[in-house]
């Protein structure tokens, strides 16, 4: 940060683990004042350099308490970074409706609720920035991530509409579309209740989820993603999209858009059904 420059206040959700943690740490390194929210912050966990407040983005009262607490600490936010998310692996047929709702509540409705809490404060301030975590899965689907992919497609569409609506108030919106990163999220990866040993999808599920885990374990550096987000927030104009992924995942997005559907599905299906050597 340049000498004499006012410190910008960033609120970030899902900051206790995974990409949210790495992003919060990068924002601290970049000199931002960071108010971090996560459910585990109410249980003694903290992130060095951050003001850590309990936050469950699926609970209206928790969002209200976080907002009031963050306001009392540092006033209205200059930016909101929505990182909170969850993943439940399973065949689309296997998901209980409660599992689908839980994923959507966290990944999409939770973002929308936080935005609704922050936007009036940003309008009053006369400016603001909203960073919504989507995913490469917000642009294409892969086997056994149906709930997660649906939620990220919702984030993509919602954020495009939001950007158009808030532009007159000098508020910018950026979608972050990460590929696979070594973020440790495999520790929190749940399986759908319907994916028992008797599931007709079981053999394909085992192969597919092994490949998903392999790609994450060999994914990109999450600190680099966090640094890119911090750098984007320092720019005079916020990019509309920030896609951080390996070349093969950039290529997959391109092929999804240009290849005939059946050919692309054959390529993706083959990739997630091959044994890992």
Closest by Cα among 193, 189, 188 to 209: 189
> CB of 13 within 8 A of CB of 83?
yes
Closest by Cα among 126, 116, 130, 110 to 242: 130
> CB of 146 within 8 A of CB of 90?
yes
Q: Catalytic pick from 62, 135, 151, 152? A: 152
Q: What angle do CA 79, 81, 82 make, to 5 degrees?
A: 145
Query: Is residue 151 flagged as an active site residue?
Result: no
Query: Is residue 152 flagged as an active site residue?
Result: yes
Q: Catalytic pick from 134, 135, 159, 192? A: 134
- Could you give the CA distance from residue 188 to residue 54 in angstroms, rounded to a whole number? 19
- Could you give the CA distance from residue 34 to residue 117 in angstroms, rounded to a whole number? 17
3-state percent breakdown (helix, strand, coil) of the chain, nearest 5 = 55, 15, 30
> CB of 182 within 8 A of CB of 216?
yes
Q: Catalytic pick from 148, 158, 201, 272? A: 148
Query: Is residue 192 flagged as an active site residue?
Result: no
Q: String of b and e for 151-188 (b: at least 16 CB within 10 Å)?
A: bbbbbbebbeebbeebeeeebbbbbbbbbbbebebeee
Query: Is residue 2 flagged as an active site residue?
Result: no
Q: Please list the residues that pair with 79 across neighbouring strands.
A: 10, 129
Catalytic residues: 16, 134, 148, 152
């Amino acid at each position: 940060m340049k000498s004499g420059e006012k410190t910008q206040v960033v609120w970030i959700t899902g900051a206790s683990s995974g990409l949210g943690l790495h992003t919060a740490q990068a924002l601290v390194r970049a000199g931002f004042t960071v108010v971090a929210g996560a459910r585990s912050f109410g249980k003694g966990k903290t992130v060095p350099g951050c003001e850590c407040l309990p936050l469950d983005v699926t609970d209206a009262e928790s969002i209200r308490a976080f907002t009031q607490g963050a306001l009392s600490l540092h006033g209205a936010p200059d930016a909101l970074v929505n990182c909170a998310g969850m993943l439940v692996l399973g065949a689309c047929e296997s998901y209980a409706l409660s599992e689908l709702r839980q994923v959507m509540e966290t990944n999409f409705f939770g973002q929308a609720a936080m935005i609704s809490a922050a936007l009036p404060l940003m309008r009053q301030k006369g400016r603001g920035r909203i960073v919504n975590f989507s995913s490469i899965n917000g642009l294409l689907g892969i086997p056994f991530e149906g709930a997660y992919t649906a939620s990220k497609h919702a984030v993509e569409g919602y954020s495009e509409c939001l950007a158009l609506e808030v532009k007159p108030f000098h508020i910018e919106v950026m979608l972050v579309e990460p590929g696979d990163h070594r973020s440790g999220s495999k520790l929190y990866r749940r399986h759908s209740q319907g994916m028992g040993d008797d599931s007709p999808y079981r053999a394909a599920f085992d192969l597919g989820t092994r490949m998903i885990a392999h790609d994450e374990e060999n994914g990109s550096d999450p600190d680099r993603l966090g640094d890119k987000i911090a750098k984007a927030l320092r720019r005079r104009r916020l990019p509309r999209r920030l896609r951080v992924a390996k070349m093969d995942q950039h290529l997959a997005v391109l092929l999804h858009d240009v290849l005939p559907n059946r050919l692309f599905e054959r390529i993706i299906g083959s990739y997630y059904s091959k044994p890992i050597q």
